[in-house]
């Protein structure tokens, strides 16, 4: 998931058809440690974050949901900036019930960023964090995280954690982006990346769900 420049990117979207459909919900669930995480997969959507936020505003989540998309047509970054995915990317959002104050959003974003970075470090891919929501590989943007909170009419709160990770970026797309970008294909053969997308999705989802839950419990009375 990469920030769009003013250059026209529509031609690059044809490259998306060269990649297979996203892994199935069953394939992703097979690799998850979180047994209570419901998995949804769609070929395309406007934004997985927007999908889950709309649901959470209607009724707060009772249990966590992972929504995965093959492509997004209306992805967003911080401050409402438009984001676009090109080539092969991991695009997903987690929705979960939440009890913390909405003011904690920047802190939980950082906690999820640390967890995602640690998941990459465990695979011998060294990345850094750029406050508040970017993962950098050799100083170039590899992934972004967007955390949002929603409240339903009854006052129930939900947290939605969205993430986009560049797997394989076509050269034409790289040239059109107005910042240095990175891809996991720099460290892992593209064919292997495409075959292991379910594992990667599960790694990130498990790591960030655990981090969010730990953050939510921090400071609570153990009784």
Domains of the chain listed by start with CATH number = 2-216 (3.30.930.10)
pLDDT value at residue 222: 39
Q: Express each pLDDT in 133-142 by its tens digit.
A: 899 999 999 9
Cα–Cα distance measured from residue 68 to residue 166, given in angstroms and rounded to the nearest whole number:
14
Q: Please, how many CA atoms are within 13 Å of residue 59, restricted to the half-sphere of its CB? A: 2
Highest mean pLDDT among 128-137, 154-163, 176-185, 213-222: 154-163
Q: Which of 7-11, 27-31, 150-154 has the lowest mean pLDDT?
A: 7-11
Statement: residue 62 has pLDDT above 70: yes
Backbone angles phi, psi at 222, to 5 degrees: -60, -15
Q: How confident is the model at residue 131 (pLDDT cuts 50, 70, 90)?
A: confident
Looking at residue 153, the DSSP 8-state letter turns out to be: T
Strands (E) in the chain, as ranges, are 2-3, 38-45, 65-72, 83-84, 88-98, 128-130, 134-137, 140-151, 157-168
Give the confidence band of 218 by pLDDT, cuts at 50, 70, 90: confident
Mean pLDDT of 185-205: 96
Residue 85 has pLDDT above 60, yes or no: no
Question: What share of the chain in percent tops pLDDT 90?
Answer: 68
pLDDT of residue 219: 54
pLDDT of residue 82: 53
For residue 132, cis peptide bond before it (omega within 30 degrees of 0): yes
Greatest CA separation found in the chain?
57
- Where does the pLDDT of residue 54 fall: very low under 50, low under 70, confident under 90, or very high at 90 and above? very high
């Amino acid at each position: 998931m990469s920030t769009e420049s003013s250059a026209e990117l529509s031609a690059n979207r044809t490259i998306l058809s060269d990649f297979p459909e996203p892994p199935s919900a069953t394939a992703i669930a097979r690799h998850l440690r979180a047994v209570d995480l419901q998995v949804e997969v769609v070929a395309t959507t406007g934004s997985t974050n927007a999908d889950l936020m709309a649901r959470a505003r209607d009724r707060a989540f009772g249990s966590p949901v992972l929504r995965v998309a093959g492509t997004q047509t209306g992805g967003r970054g911080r401050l409402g900036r438009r984001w676009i995915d090109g080539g092969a990317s991991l695009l997903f959002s987690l929705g979960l019930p939440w009890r913390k104050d909405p003011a904690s959003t920047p802190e939980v974003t950082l906690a999820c960023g640390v967890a995602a970075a640690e998941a990459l470090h465990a695979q011998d891919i060294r990345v850094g964090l750029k406050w508040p929501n970017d993962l950098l590989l050799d100083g170039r943007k590899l992934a972004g995280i967007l955390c949002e909170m929603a409240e339903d009419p009854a006052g129930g709160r939900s947290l939605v954690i969205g993430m986009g990770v560049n797997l394989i970026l076509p050269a034409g797309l790289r040239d059109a982006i107005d910042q240095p970008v990175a891809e996991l294909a720099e460290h892992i053969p593209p064919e292997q990346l495409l075959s292991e997308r379910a594992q990667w999705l599960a790694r990130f989802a498990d790591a960030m769900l655990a981090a969010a839950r730990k953050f939510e419990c921090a400071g609570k009375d153990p009784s």
